[in-house]
Amino acid sequence: MKICVKCRENFTDDSNFCPFDGTKLEIPDDPWVGKIINSRYQIVEKLTEGGMGKIYRGLQLYPEREVAIKILPPERLKEKTFKERFMREGMAVAMIRHEHIIEIFDAGETDEGIPYIVMEFLHGNSLEDELLKGPLSVKRAVSILIDICEALGPVHAMGIIHRDLKPGNIFLVKINRKDRNGRNEKNNGNEGDEDEEFVKVLDFGIAFLRDQPRLTDKNLVVGTPEYIAPEIVLGGKILPQSDLYSLGCIGYEMLCGSLPLGSGNPAEVVLKHVNEKPVPLQNMNPDIPPELCKIIMRLLEKDPKKRYPDAYVLIKAFYDLGLVKKTEIEIETKTEAEKMELPVEKKSILSNRMMPSLSLTSSHKRWEEFLATTKDLSNEIGKSLELINEMETLTAKLTKIEKEQFAMGKEIEKIDFEGSESISRLRHALNALAMEISEKKSIFMETKSRLDELNSMALMEEREVKKMLQDKELIQDEGERISYGIMSKLEKISRNWISIYEKIREEESIKDKLQNEISDLDYQISQIRQRMESIEAETLQKKKGFEEKIKYLEEEKKKVKERLSTLSSIFGRNVK
């Protein structure tokens, strides 16, 4: 197969020049470039390569949009765990649909059985690239941390732990505030800026999913050494606080330009996370507000229980610093009629393009234009008339096929839109419930702390009474009667003891009520999660028939295009 690097059309190996623009055809260095996956995604160029696969810039054909495509390296197919982990990324992210998490459009396997994931195409820089320039300003660092927390809140509520948060998996894009919410709004105190920095969390390839089988041995350390939580190193329980530890490492690095425990030999670095304390952030950069330093250092506690309990509490702590303004997120509501109506033009939040946009011209239009330019030549060259007639017939067939594919694509787009809207509404509900749980858990912990204090006080009073009753010197010799003073003291202690136990019963009642409310909210979240999974499965099932039809049409289209390519080559030789 040869491709035209200008229009990206594929041609047979016997063709040398593109009939549309005269560009010399090339055999791509990468065998994936130019291929069409699942009859819907054309691979345009390789962008990068990592441990979890190659990432390509691509074009979704039906409906048309620019995408990024991650493909599992074929040599890793033999590793069952690796393949399952790769597919888990698609499963983990697809249901979340959060503005601060890269969107997954599709996941599946090629005809050769190689897994792929189709994602939104991001224009911008990774946080890793930004940190090469040096530390960030305090306000910018806090804004980025808040955005990451806003992603982690619902992710953790869904029972998903990222496990590999690091600057390389945090992507920064510039968007117009009007594009974000359809209205101009203030963003984190930067009132004069038309554009705002927007965070996207990437790469859930090694994410831990609650209620899913563990893919890695407990003795195998998974993650990036410089950002890994101590409990993961020790093979302990994977917790939301594990991600918050990694976030602390990121925050530390953003604010002072250095990693909390350095880099180097991976084995040595992971042991440092277990055994060594980082240099206090305030010592690294005295200009950082002390309260912010306390937040970051608390995130870096070795004991998960000493860190923040969840991302929602952490968001509040960041906003309480007063360094950035809180942006209220409005939950859009739609009427039943509006829910069924597709937008005429769906704006991407990624409005600033740093690469040339891809042309979306359909193949049949190119062939129609090509035939229009050959009319005069065919009149002069009689032997080409038959070729032209066949090419016109094939082009008409190609037009019909592509129009059918486009119609199928619009149906898929409609199904995706409806599924996405349903999941988005459920995610908002889940997020609200998770925030409520976070608040109630905070109250629960405060209540528990008061109970511990009251129980300690009651125990002290009991010990005092026992001590008094056991002290023989306090008992009078005459008839062994207890003195009035001792009785008065006992009465006072008893009153205190009764008062304390009344408070204990009151706090126990509050604690039990909170526990029941938290359990009820947990149940509601589990029901929402199940419904989201159900909607995702229903959406995939609804799309299946249309996707199979597109695939069948693509095979027909391939035959037509191959014949057109051959005929155009013959026509070119005749003209010469």
Q: How far apart are CA 355 and CA 65, in angstroms?
A: 14
Q: Using alpha carbons only, give the angle 556, 418, 405 rounded to the nearest 5 degrees.
A: 10
Which residues, 6 or more positions from 498, have their beta carbon under 8 angstroms from its beta carbon? none
In contact, 562 and 9? CB cutoff 8 Å: no
Q: Which pair of tokens denotes residue 276?
A: 């060594």
Q: Give the bridge partners for 201, in sequence order.
A: 101, 170
Catalytic-residue membership of 164? yes
Give the C-alpha distances (Å, rounded to integers) separating 47 from 25, 55, 130, 186, 199.
Answer: 21, 6, 19, 34, 20
CB 154 within 8 A of CB 98: yes
φ/ψ (deg, to 5) at 513 = -65, -45
Phi first, then psi: what are they for 497, rounded to 5°?
Answer: -60, -45
Neighbours of 522 (CB within 10 A): 14
Report in angstroms the alpha-carbon separations of 232 from 29, 93, 123, 218, 492. 40, 22, 33, 9, 52
Sequence-ordered list of residues with C-beta below 8 angstroms from that of 77, at least 6 positions apart, any chain: 83, 113, 114
Residue 290 tokens read as: 């002390």
Contact 435, 312 (CB under 8 A): yes
Q: CA 101, 106, 112, 113: dihedral to nearest 10 degrees?
A: 70
Q: How far is CA 4 from CA 22, 25, 185, 401, in A?
A: 9, 5, 44, 22
Enumerate the β-bridge partners of residue 125: 172
For residue 172, the surrounding DSSP H or E stretch is strand 170-176
Other Cβ atoms less than 10 A from the Cβ of 436: the count is 16
Q: How many whole angstroms separate alpha carbon 248 and alpha carbon 297?
A: 7
Helices 138-157 and 385-470, axial angle in degrees (round to 10): 90
Asked whether 487 and 434 are in contact (CB, 8 A), the reply is: no
Catalytic residue among 13, 111, 129, 164: 164
CB 73, CB 53: distance < 8 Å: yes
Beta bridge partners of 394: none
Sort residue 338 into left (φ over 0), alpha (ψ -120 to 50) or beta: alpha
Known catalytic residues are 164
